[in-house]
Amino acid sequence: MYSRLSKLLLWASVAVLLPGETLATNGSLLIGIGSKTRSMGGAGVALPTEAMSQFINPASSTELGIQAQVGAMLFSPKRQGCTNLVPECAKSGSNLFLLPFMGGAYKFNRRISLGFVGAPVGGGSTRYTDNLYEAGADTLGADLKQMNMAFPVAYRVNKNVSVGFAPVLGIQAFRAYGLTTFQTPGITVDLENITNRGNDYSYGAGVRFGVLTKFFNDRLNFGASYASRVYMTKFDKYKGLFTEDGSFDMPEQFTIGLAVKPFKKMSVAFDVTKVFFNDIPALGNPVTNAVGKADGTPPTGRFGEEDGGGFGWDNQWIYKLGINYDWSSKLSLRLGANYGKAPVPEDDNLMAAILAPVTTEWHATAGFTYGLSASSEISVSYVHAFKNTLSNFDTGQFNIAPGGGAEVAMVQNSIDMSYSLRF
**130-166 pLDDT per residue, tens:** 888 888 888 999 999 999 999 999 999 999 999 999 9
Closest CA to 120 of 163, 149, 159, 158: 149
C-alpha distances in angstroms, 361 versus 112, 303, 357, 384? 38, 29, 12, 11
- Rounded Cα distance, 56 and 37, in Å: 10
Question: Taking 80 as the threshold, does the pLDDT of residue 399 lie above it?
Answer: no
Residues above pLDDT 90, as percent of the chain: 70
Residue 219's pLDDT is: 95
Q: 142 - beta bridge partners?
A: 126, 176
Angle in degrees, CA 33, 371, 374, rounded to 5 = 115
Identify the band that residue 16 occupies on the pLDDT scale cut at 50, 70 and 90: very low
**φ, ψ for residue 99, nearest 5 deg:** -125, 105
- Rounded Cα distance, 73 and 87, in Å: 34
- Rounded Cα distance, 271 and 338, in Å: 10
**51-70 pLDDT per residue, tens:** 999 999 999 999 999 999 99
CATH number for the domain harbouring residue 333 = 2.40.160.60
- Rounded Cα distance, 144 and 173, in Å: 6
Question: Taking 60 as the threshold, does the pLDDT of residue 4 lie above it?
Answer: no
Q: Can you say whether the dihedral through the CA atoms of 155, 37, 49, 106 is positive or negative?
A: negative
Write the single-letter amino acid at 230.
V
Mean pLDDT (the chain) is 90
Q: What is the mean pLDDT of residues 195-214?
A: 96
**φ, ψ for residue 312, nearest 5 deg:** 75, 30
Residue 23's pLDDT is: 54
How many Cβ atoms are within 10 Å of 415's Cβ, its own excluded? 17
Q: State the Rg of the chain over Cα.
A: 22
For 278, the domain range is 2-422
Residue 18's pLDDT is: 45
Residue 14's pLDDT is: 44
- Rounded Cα distance, 398 and 391, in Å: 13
The upper half-sphere exposure of residue 82, i.e. CA atoms within 13 Å in the direction of its Cβ, equals: 12
Write the single-letter amino acid at 421.
L
Outline where 99-241 has alpha helix (H): none
Cα Dmax for the chain: 69
**φ, ψ for residue 272, nearest 5 deg:** -130, 130
Q: Are 337 and 9 in contact (CB under 8 A)?
A: no
Identify the band that residue 9 occupies on the pLDDT scale cut at 50, 70 and 90: very low
Domain count, the chain: 1
Identify the band that residue 291 occupies on the pLDDT scale cut at 50, 70 and 90: confident
Question: What three-state secondary structure class fits 117?
Answer: strand
Write the single-letter amino acid at 277.
F
Among 17-21, 36-40, 152-156, 389-393, the minimum mean pLDDT is found in 17-21
pTM tops 0.75: yes
Q: 66 - beta bridge partners?
A: none
Question: What three-state secondary structure class fits 204?
Answer: strand
- Report how far Cα 38 is from the mean position of its chain's Cα atoms: 12
